[in-house]
Amino acid sequence: MNKAVRIVDIFRQESTFQGTDVMVHGWVRTRRDSKAGVSFVELNDGSCLKNLQVVLERDRPETATLADRLTTGSAVQIRGILIPSPGKGQSIELLARDIVLFGWADPARYPLQKKRHSFEFLRTIGHLRPRTNTLGAVARIRNRLSFAIHTFFQQEGFFYIHTPIITTSDCEGAGEVFRVTTLDPTRAGPALDEGVFQEDFFQKPTFLTVSGQLQAEIYALALGKVYTFGPTFRAENSNTSRHLAEFWMIEPEMAFADLNDDLALAQRLMHFVVSDLLETASDDLQFFARFVEPSLLDSLETVAQQPFEVITYSEAVDLLKKADEAFAFPVEWGADLQSEHERYLTEKKFRKPVAVIDFPRDLKPFYMRVNDDGKTVAAMDVLVPRVGEIIGGSQREERREVLLEQMRRKGISPEAYAWYVELREFGSAPHCGFGLGLERLVQFVTGLGNIREVIPFPRTPGHADF
């Protein structure tokens, strides 16, 4: 069974395969029966967007009966010879000689018939939706992006480290954490004070991580350059097209580096992964350009080549105030930039990625380095067209006293983060890093408007299916 060739390999080396005997596996996308006694099957094995055309002679009663059973969604094994195709739309086709039908799909019940289905509907059939062109292409693109991200960091001398999924810290300090406990919520217990956790698995409150950054800092201050790439959890009750409760984040962290190095790294990373995708995934990208976002390839070329526009938060506020736009949220120095503001800057004002730096310290978490003005921190948010914020990062506060003052201001107990403070006592060094959301990146490169379509099994408020 394992001698089958992947359809993508046939298309990549058509001339080598011409005239040879092959075996393929896959799922029937469609079948058309001609009056001349031939059936044409479009076979897809998930290895690429394109289907392989399979030609079946219905010359005997048995072959005609079998051909009739090859309904949309059926799983088959087909042996045959690859021949030049006389038909339009493909240059090679498989003349079938031997067919095994592994699993028939009842056309009365199989939901993926040949027509366009809404993304909302496809979400309800998460067990079947990867067999669609869109979700298949997303899965291949996620795979390639992940590979390119690892390749990039490995080439740049970063070490891949594994930070914990169960943590006791709330890195972003936003309180949007999922609690991890083995306590039985249905059992009436003592009030939720510290005492109750004595009976809990870890004997203290624990959560799913919202970011691996704090632990990555530990390793950066030992190995120099490190990165994490793992699942991240946020109990944000925001039902938007850009937020998930479970998403994947890439977090590089480097010692002996400042915000300028951080910006340069983010820019090199974006250039690398987008260029790699343009080179290796052109069929899937063209599919998205055709059916989802007509400007897609142009905007990817821009990101692959152009430097980011870098502006300070204060400059951004000035530009937004002067903009001839009716924003729903007012723009004031000290207020957070809303999605509409981010999109104005990157889509209308600059038409390319924009890095906004030096945010007011009160808007950002405790770990960001305080600038000399005392009012802002060395933060950076990278904004891209159609998505808005794709990267958030900063230079970290490496000065113990300033860090303690930041913690006081934000009501964070230095005792709870004693190890983090201690890193500023033993060989502290300037360091920085950022987080890139994988799903936001996939949204950007596919043009898909809703983040629920770019992860296999989306988790959002009220939804944890499959």
Positions in the binding site for ligand 4AD (CB under 6 A) = 171-172, 211, 213, 234, 236, 243-244, 247, 249, 251, 389-393, 433-435, 437, 439-440
Regarding 80 and contact with Mg ion (CB under 5 A), the answer is no
CB 94 within 8 A of CB 19: no
- In the complex, minimum distance from the CB of residue 174 to ligand 4AD, in angstroms, rounded to a whole number: 8
**Which residue in the shown chain puts its C-beta closest to Mg ion?**
392
Which one of ligand 4AD, Mg ion, none interacts with residue 344, CB within 5 to 8 A by kind? none
Q: Which does residue 440 touch among ligand 4AD, Mg ion, none (CB within 5 to 8 A, set by kind)?
A: ligand 4AD
Determine whether 373 is exposed, middle or buried from the number of CB atoms within 10 Å of its CB (0-12, 13-18, 19+): exposed
Q: Choose the contact partner of 395 out of ligand 4AD, Mg ion, none; CB within 5 to 8 A by kind.
A: none
Give the residue with the Cβ less far from Mg ion, 16 or 238: 238
**Nearer Cβ to ligand 4AD (153/287):** 153
The answer to whether 26 contacts Mg ion (rule: CB under 5 A) is: no
Q: Segment 344-383, which members bind Mg ion (CB under 5 A)?
A: none
Shortest Å, Cβ 264 to ligand 4AD = 15
The option from Mg ion, ligand 4AD, none interacting with 244 (CB < 5 to 8 A, set by class) reads ligand 4AD
Closer to ligand 4AD at the Cβ: 42 or 358?
Answer: 358
| Residue 390 interacting partner from Mg ion, ligand 4AD, none (CB closer than 5 to 8 Å by kind) | ligand 4AD
Q: CB 209 → Mg ion: shortest distance, Å?
A: 16
For residue 404, the Cα-to-chain-centroid distance in whole angstroms is 35
Nearer to ligand 4AD, 135 or 244 (CB): 244
Query: Phi and psi (nearest 5°) for 406?
Result: -60, -40
| Closer to Mg ion by Cβ: residue 353 or 392 | 392
| Least gap, CB of 441 to ligand 4AD (angstroms) | 8
24: burial class by Cβ within 10 Å (0-12, 13-18, 19+)? buried
236 contact choice in Mg ion, ligand 4AD, none (CB below 5 to 8 Å, kind-dependent): ligand 4AD
29 touches 40 (CB < 8 A): no
**Cα distance between residue 302 and residue 372, in whole Å:** 34
Give the closest residue to 345 by CA, choosing from 378, 376, 321, 375: 321
CA-to-CA separations, 77 to 70, 285, 339, 347, in angstroms, rounded: 11, 29, 49, 48
Q: Does 392 bind Mg ion (CB under 5 A)?
A: yes
Give me the least distance between CB of 139 and ligand 4AD, in Å please: 18
Name residues whose C-beta falls within 8 Å of residue 88's C-beta, 6 or more positions apart in sequence: none
Is residue 433 within the footprint of Mg ion (CB under 5 A)?
Answer: no
Looking at beta carbons only, is 219 or 247 nearer to ligand 4AD? 247
Q: What residues line the site for Mg ion (CB under 5 A)?
A: 392
